[in-house]
Chains A and B, each alone.
Chain A
Amino acid sequence: MLLCEDRIHPSRRAILGSAGALFAWSFIPKYAHAAGGRDPRFVAIILRGALDGLSAVAPIGDPGYAALREAIALSTSGDHPALPLDGFFALHPAMPNFARLYKAGQALVVHAAATGYRERSHFDGQDVLESGQPKVGLTQSGWLNRALAALPPGERIAQKGALGVGPIAPLVARGPAPVLGWAPQTLPRADDDLAMRVMDLYARKDQALARALSKGLETDKLATQSGMGDMKQQGGPADPQGMKMIAAGAAKLMAADTGPRVAALAFEGWDTHANEGAATGQLANRLGGLDSAFAEFESDLGPAWKDTIIAVITEFGRTARVNGTTGTDHGTGTVAFLVGGAVKGGRVVADWPGLAQGQLFEGRDLKPTTDVRAMLKGVMMDHLGLSAAILAEQVFPGTEQLAPMRGLVA
């Protein structure tokens, strides 16, 4: 049946692999290393709604911070003290797992970061973030998918496709490379015979539906094999429990030997216009959910954790100054996180712009000094083995002038 057609036969896979390596890939040193036994995993977590980077990783050493943030300013003293990172930056207290991994050299923060997008629409900001394109409107595929498509087809990481978690795969995972989909669900399963007949009809009449359904059936089979057949939904992607469960599901699929090596997840609810909260409150709850997701990946990936990098990114930041309703409006600079056994962590990477009025972007936002694409390019180069040229032309088009940030991978 058609379900199996896009699974390459082992002997053919070997031929494709060696041909790819011979003609296009042999010059990349890390990739040769990868082929020599390393089996890297990469996860992109998109935080939808624009994370407040100044609350997630507070620049408590900046003289302007406390006055700008008023009631939502974090402090390293009090009932819920922020967790000191390096004397200048302190981590939100809802993120103890991140703090532990940071100490262990497996997590880092990139601060005052942004994509090239400078407006304040969530939806355009997310499109730019996920498409990896220089501007809005070019959103047919995502950078993560194109990165996979650019890898040699015989390689394990490319061949398994990108896992898009949730009923709607995040744009970052969509594109020419195979996309697997998984979400926790509770309906009784249709039987194999019906599935085969529907696939047969689609193969003859509707290729787009055939592609999607075959991938859905494939992932479902894998989920069942990984013991997740009865996973029940507990809260959605904006709920801390839901975040934890989604992470656990993705991690189990990625831990399986035949599972995907690359995944994209989206967590929601970061648009904190009103009553944002400080050390406790709505933002704290969500950061706690994100933090528990790190722990799920760490435990469920098992031995693969040492070869894993999770990149956490968001479409933009929030205003530096608290607004009239004890929240923050749409801003620009924010933080990105890298977490995982393959991260050279224990650092806050920042060219700190300062928070004095004259140092703010357009007088209202944390000024972005690091391009989040430089960070992602550095990770893809050193972790996945993509060349600078491929990254600049296919993955993040138009970024020839933006050097990959090296030294992020252990």
Chain B
Amino acid sequence: MADRNSDARSIAALQRFGFGPRPGDLAALGGDALDAMRQIVRAKAVAEPTGDHLVSTPQALRELDEFRTEVQRKRAAAVALEEARQQQQAMQPPVGQPGQKVASIATPVPAINKPPPMAQIPQLIFRNEADARFRCAVEAQTGFAERLVWFWSNHFCVAVSKGQPNRVTAGSFEREAIRPHVFGKFADMLLAVEKHPAMLIYLDNRQSVGANSRAGARRGRGLNENLAREIMELHTLGVGGGYSQTDVTTLAKIITGWTVINQFDEDGELGEFRFNGNRHEPGDQTLLGKTYRDEGVKQGEKALIDIARHPSTALFIARKLARHFVADDPPQSLVDRLARTFRDTQGDLAAVSLALLDSKEALETPPMKLRSPQEFVVAAVRATGRKFDIGQALNVSRLMGHDLWNPSGPNGFGDAEAQWATPDGMKVRLDFASAIARQTPGSLNPSELLEQTIGPIVSTETRQAVARAESRPQGIALMLMSPEFQRR
């Protein structure tokens, strides 16, 4: 007979650190979900998304460029055709029946400036990336690695509303800069992120030019401090982490020249990272009290590695992780332990992840965190075994205020109860739970489904509410809306 207490511990772990159980997961994990998660960390096992047309960032930017050129070409051709037609009409006086000219005017005229229908490359790339990304979460066994991917992707967010270059690279950014480093070194992830074209485009650094650089002197262009500020405020030290406005400006100078190869550049492949020495602010720079010699791109790399290992960074990341996985106001002892692990291992994220899994506080704190809308969507698909539909997932996530790869600012989506337990957000959750319950196979028994998934941790009230539902879809919707399903 299965040990009910250990089952409850395993389900609680799948809820807290993953996307909740699918029917049968507990047995497949040999009854100990936490241990399965530890093995995943030690093996540094992070999934590689698969699916149609997942292309590298440079390729995505090249395809976007070709797409735009093609749209322009077709538009120009349509304009030329229309001009030729009008010219011809003007040269030929109307002949024949009186009604004929009217008929020719009524003939549909191709809309000028509207490109003819063709494959919408930006939307196609985005959708394929989104589909592959959500599927990794739906199909994950413990889900811990995927939750960390989501965490870091939100920490280092880009937003697709910035424009088409970000729309086509948000997915490849996550695959290229986040996934390989989830159980690696924080400094490596930081460097991969800040040198990634998606980030350089999102926070405008691709356009930033040192005022005293060759390009700056020639063209009168200059500094943009957006990325430098957010690196320190949001990505590493945290606001109040001990930097000044002068440090922001200095870091902005240090990373001038970190840009993306565009169609006008003569050397290299369009869409790749490029260090452009002509734009780099010359000279040594003193940042946070330390002087960095001008060694081109290395000047910035060395500065970022130091910032990555700064004690403020350790504390900032530790608190954010503890808040995400454990409680809006996490136990200080847990934050301290994670920060210490981060410092002692120079930002080894596998060690920090194990410290989190092994923390007494992480296991004993009652489930208080409200699942984010995207987590809720994935958990609902997993629990019900429903066929995954990326269109629906994207739509309802957006309606609940959690638009994929599209936070309203570079601080990413918030992570506290107040962010998600809103009147409108809860109303949409209810509508979504109702919709997904109606779409599940009619033969599913809600009470059995409950026992096969979150059964070991639900209250008597939830169990009764599901059992007393007036229909099977209603019972499933009640399970999905229950406090034990909403919280983790």
Contact = CB atoms under 8 A, between A and B. Distances in A.
20 contacts: A48-B408, A167-B401, A181-B424, A181-B427, A187-B431, A188-B434, A190-B477, A194-B430, A198-B481, A201-B481, A208-B417, A212-B423, A213-B423, A216-B423, A273-B204, A324-B211, A324-B223, A324-B224, A325-B209, A325-B221
Interface of B: 161, 203-204, 207-209, 211, 216, 221-226, 229, 233-234, 239-240, 245, 248, 370, 395-396, 399-403, 408-409, 411, 414, 417-428, 430-435, 459, 461-462, 465, 469-470, 474, 477-478, 481-483, 486-487
Contacts of B229: 120-121, 330
A87 to B, nearest CB: 32
A188 B431 contact: yes
A73 B1 CA distance: 77
A233 B474 CA distance: 27
Given A168-B419, A169-B423, A190-B477, A325 B461 contact: no
A69 interface: no
Nearest to B486: A209
Interface in A164-208: 164, 166-169, 171, 174, 179-183, 185-191, 193-195, 197-198, 200-202, 204-206, 208
B478 A201 contact: yes
Contacts of A124: 239
Interface centre among B240, B428, B478 (most CB of A within 10 A): B428
Interface string A127-165: 000000000100010000000000000000000000010
A215 B430 CA distance: 13
Contact of A329 (B224, B403, B470): B224
Given A182-B424, A190-B431, A327 B465 contact: no
A320 B185 CA distance: 40
Nearest to B245: A120
Contacts of B240: 136
A362 interface: yes
B465 A197 contact: yes
Given A48-B409, A209-B483, A324-B211, A190 B430 contact: yes
Interface residues of A, number: 68
A187 B481 contact: no
Nearest to B424: A181
A167 B422 contact: yes
A237 interface: yes
A122 interface: yes
Contacts of B422: 164, 167-169, 179, 181, 212, 216
Interface string A47-79: 011000000000000000000000000000000
B421 A209 contact: yes
A204 B464 CA distance: 12
A212 B245 contact: no
A236 B161 contact: yes
B459 A205 contact: yes
A198 B478 CA distance: 6
A19 B461 CA distance: 40
Contacts of B161: 236, 238, 269
Given A124-B239, A189-B431, 5 more contacts: A182-B424, A187-B435, A190-B431, A194-B430, A269-B161
Contacts of B461: 201, 204-205
A179 B208 contact: no
A187 B408 contact: no
A167 B222 contact: no
Contacts of B400: 167
Given A216-B422, A237-B408, A187 B462 contact: no
Nearest to A217: B427
A166 B208 CA distance: 34
A207 B245 CA distance: 44
B411 A122 contact: yes
A323 B478 contact: no
A123 B409 contact: yes
A179 B423 contact: yes
Contact of A167 (B211, B225, B425): B425
B225 A329 contact: yes
A410 interface: no
Nearest to A119: B239
A119 B240 CA distance: 10
B164 to A, nearest CB: 14
Interface string A306-330: 0000000000000000011101011
At the interface, is chain B mostly helix, strand, loop or mixed?
helix
Contact of B426 (A120, A213, A237): A213
Given A120-B229, A168-B425, A323-B223, A194 B408 contact: no
Candidate in B224, B411, B423 with the most chain A CB atoms within 10 angstroms? B423
Interface string A80-122: 0000000000000000000000000000000000000001111
A177 to B, nearest CB: 13
A133 B245 CA distance: 23
A248 B248 CA distance: 40
Q: Which of A208, A219, A268 has the most CB of B within 10 A?
A: A208
Contact of A186 (B399, B401, B418, B481): B399
A191 B434 contact: yes
A220 interface: yes
B345 to A, nearest CB: 29
B434 A205 contact: no
B392 to A, nearest CB: 9
B358 to A, nearest CB: 29
Contacts of A298: none
What 3 pairs between A and B have smallest CB-CB spacing? Answer: A324-B222, A167-B401, A181-B423
B465 A323 contact: no
A197 B469 contact: yes
Nearest to A167: B401
Contacts of A216: 422-428, 430
Nearest to B220: A324
Contacts of B427: 181, 213, 216-217, 219-220
A382 B403 CA distance: 40
Contacts of A371: none
Contacts of A208: 417, 421
Contacts of A122: 409, 411
A10 to B, nearest CB: 24
Contacts of B224: 273-274, 323-325, 327, 329
Interface in A217-238: 217-220, 233, 236-238
Contacts of A266: 408
A183 B402 CA distance: 13
Given A208-B417, A213-B426, A219-B424, A323 B399 contact: no
A260 to B, nearest CB: 11
A364 to B, nearest CB: 9
A271 interface: yes
Given A208-B417, A324-B221, A194 B434 contact: yes
A213 B395 CA distance: 20
A205 to B, nearest CB: 5
A268 B474 CA distance: 38
B483 A206 contact: yes
B318 to A, nearest CB: 18
Given A123-B239, A274-B207, A187 B421 contact: no
A73 to B, nearest CB: 16
Contact of A166 (B245, B424, B434, B478): B424
Most chain A CB within a 10 A radius of its CB, from B248, B401, B424: B424
Contact of B423 (A48, A200, A219): A219
